[in-house]
């Protein structure tokens, strides 16, 4: 049994001072305070001094990192990305596709499904449980299908020739290729056939997320009534918010049934807009994503986003002059949210842990609780990641 101690620990219920976190076989066995629970002599203690223990970060929307794109077919692609994001506190993630020719999407979905199933097999051998707990690398929990069911008017850098109308038969092809591993679907609700597809996907427990959309307010509300419950990179690639035409952004901000994610890099959104979203959606429905591409963690240069060439210069990732994902890491996103929204670290961390896990219905991720996976990060008081543990094993190196 491993016993982790620190100055503080974040749970879904608040902060525990002088915590004692007991871990065995990759699971959290017990969480208590050292003031009420003495440390057993049979446990191996690992102490982090004045640091803070927080749940491992969950990224719902990530295209790549450290020179690799999740749609790539090289054997080292996902392992490289997973080791890189783990160093920035991400312990589980949802590899995100981009609009491409159908055959390219199908092949990518098959490869990603293979990776998810291999992760589960590794966990089963280790712990006898199919919940993804794999040491050393962030675990892929499911696939985020971003495109091709998006608006031509708000497609961003998605190539128009790769966009498709939302047809059930097309979605079925994707579903079969992914072997049911699609967990998040970004869709523009104003497209013909979208409402029917939203109902179908929601019935399969897919998180339907509104995005890349030119929908007006009533259309967005119909989509929410049909089962959509989240929004993809809010404000970006969306019909603008106007005072007599609130559009999809107005629906996302005001409808309590919807959570909202956004890219808190200070590039995609002005800090004042980040504060607006955070204040409007509150600490329960605010979600951080990175939308990171292959160029994240790399020097300036040209990288791939699906079939696109993207130029990275500083904090900007662009393709033909348009923003094309980000080079944001989740630890930086947490720090930015705390600063821009004037939130304490506890609430900012929740936007990268509990809230995205809840959106994806990943019960054992994003929380520190008895029976949950022992995925956690060790932070200093400013939110810098000192160590990352996945399944109770240090994977920071």
Asked if 82 and 138 touch (Cβ cutoff 8 Å), the reply is yes
- The answer to whether residue 260 sits within a structural domain is yes
Q: Which of 291, 331, 373, 375 is catalytic?
A: 291
Distance in angstroms (rounded) separating the CA atoms of residues 325 and 319? 9
Peptide bond into 148 cis (omega under 30): yes
> In sequence order, what are the beta bridge partners of 254?
none
- Domain CATH number, residue 150: 3.20.20.140
Question: Is the pLDDT confidence value at 339 over 70?
Answer: yes
Q: Tell whether the model's pLDDT for residue 131 goes beyond 60.
A: no
Model confidence at 12, in pLDDT bands (50, 70, 90)? confident
pLDDT band, very low/low/confident/very high, at 126 (cuts 50, 70, 90)? low
Query: Does 376 fall in a domain?
Result: no
Phi and psi based region of residue 391 (left: phi greater than 0; alpha: psi -120 to 50; beta: remaining): left
Asked whether the predicted pLDDT for residue 40 surpasses 80, the reply is no
Query: Does residue 127 surpass a pLDDT of 60?
Result: no
As to burial, measured by CB atoms within 10 angstroms (0-12 exposed, 13-18 middle, 19+ buried), residue 44 is exposed
Is 397 within the bounds of a domain?
no
Distances (CA, A) of 190 to 201, 276, 371: 16, 25, 42
121: in domain: yes
With 70 as the cut, is the pLDDT of residue 397 above it? no
Report, in this order, helix, strand and coil percent for the chain, each rounded to 5: 30, 30, 45
Instruction: Pick the range with the lowest mean pLDDT from 14-18, 88-92, 170-174.
Output: 14-18
> Residue 26 domain-assigned?
no
The predicted model gives 294-316 an average pLDDT of 97
Tell whether the model's pLDDT for residue 134 goes beyond 60: no
- pLDDT tens digit sequence for 19-39: 999 999 999 999 999 988 777
pLDDT of residue 116: 96
What percentage of residues in the chain have a pLDDT greater than 90?
Answer: 90
Is 291 a known active-site residue? yes
Question: In this predicted structure, what is the pLDDT of residue 323?
Answer: 97
Domain that holds residue 249: 56-363
Question: Per-residue b/e over 122-143, b at no fewer than 16 CB within 10 Å?
Answer: bbeeebeeebbbbbebbbbbbb
- In this prediction, what percent of the chain has a pLDDT beyond 70? 96
pLDDT tens for residues 159-206?
999 999 999 999 999 999 999 999 999 999 999 999 999 999 999 999
Cα–Cα distance for residue pair 171/159, rounded to 1 Å: 19
Task: Flag whether 181 is in a domain.
Answer: yes
Residue 389: enclosing H or E segment and its boundaries? strand 385-390
Out of 65-79, 134-148, 171-185, 331-345, least confident range:
134-148
8 inside domain: no
- What pLDDT is recorded for position 260? 98
Which pLDDT tens digit goes with each residue over 221-256?
999 999 999 999 999 999 999 999 999 999 999 999
Q: What is the rounded average pLDDT for all residues in the chain? A: 95
Torsion of CA 250, 283, 27, 130, to 10 degrees: -10
Residue 324 located in a structural domain:
yes
Q: Who contacts 282 (Cβ-Cβ below 8 Å, separation ≥6)?
A: none
- Rounded average pLDDT over 87-97: 98
Structural domain tally of the chain? 1
């Amino acid at each position: 049994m491993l016993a982790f101690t620190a100055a503080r620990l974040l749970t879904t219920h608040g902060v525990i001072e002088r915590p004692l976190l007991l871990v065995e076989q990759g699971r959290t066995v017990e969480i208590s305070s050292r003031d009420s629970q003495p440390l057993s002599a049979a446990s191996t203690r690992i102490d982090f001094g004045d640091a803070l223990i927080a749940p491992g970060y969950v990224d719902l929307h990530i295209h790549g990192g450290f020179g690799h794109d999740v749609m790539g077919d090289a054997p080292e692609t996902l392992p490289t990305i997973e080791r890189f994001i783990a160093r920035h506190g991400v312990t589980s993630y949802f590899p995100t596709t981009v609009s491409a020719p159908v055959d390219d999407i199908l092949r990518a979905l098959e490869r990603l499904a293979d990776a998810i199933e291999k992760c589960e097999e590794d966990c089963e051998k280790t712990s006898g449980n199919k919940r993804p707990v794999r040491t050393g690398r962030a675990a892929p929990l499911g696939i985020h299908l971003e495109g091709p069911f998006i608006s031509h008017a708000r497609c961003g850098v998605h190539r128009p020739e790769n966009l498709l109308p939302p047809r059930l038969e097309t979605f079925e092809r994707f579903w079969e290729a992914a072997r049911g591993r699609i967990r998040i679907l970004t869709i523009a609700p104003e497209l013909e056939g979208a409402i029917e597809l939203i109902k179908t996907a929601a019935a399969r427990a897919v998180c339907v997320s509104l995005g890349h959309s030119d929908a007006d307010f009533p259309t967005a509300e119909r989509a929410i009534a049909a089962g959509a419950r989240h929004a993809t990179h809010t404000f970006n690639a969306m019909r603008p918010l106007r005072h007599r035409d609130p559009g999809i952004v107005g629906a996302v901000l005001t409808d309590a049934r919807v959570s909202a994610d956004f890219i808190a890099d200070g590039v995609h959104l002005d800090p004042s807009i980040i504060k607006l979203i955070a204040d409007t959606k509150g600490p329960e429905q605010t979600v951080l994503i990175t939308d990171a591409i292959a160029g994240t963690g790399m020097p300036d240069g040209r990288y791939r986003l699906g079939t696109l060439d993207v130029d990275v210069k500083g904090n900007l990732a662009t393709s033909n002059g348009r923003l094309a994902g980000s080079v944001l890491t989740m630890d930086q996103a947490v720090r930015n949210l705390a600063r821009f929204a004037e939130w304490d670290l506890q609430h900012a961390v929740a936007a990268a842990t509990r809230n995205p896990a809840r959106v994806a219905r990943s019960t054992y991720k994003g929380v520190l609780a008895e029976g949950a996976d022992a995925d956690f990060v060790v932070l200093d008081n400013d939110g810098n990641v000192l160590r990352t543990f996945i399944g109770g094993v240090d994977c920071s190196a």
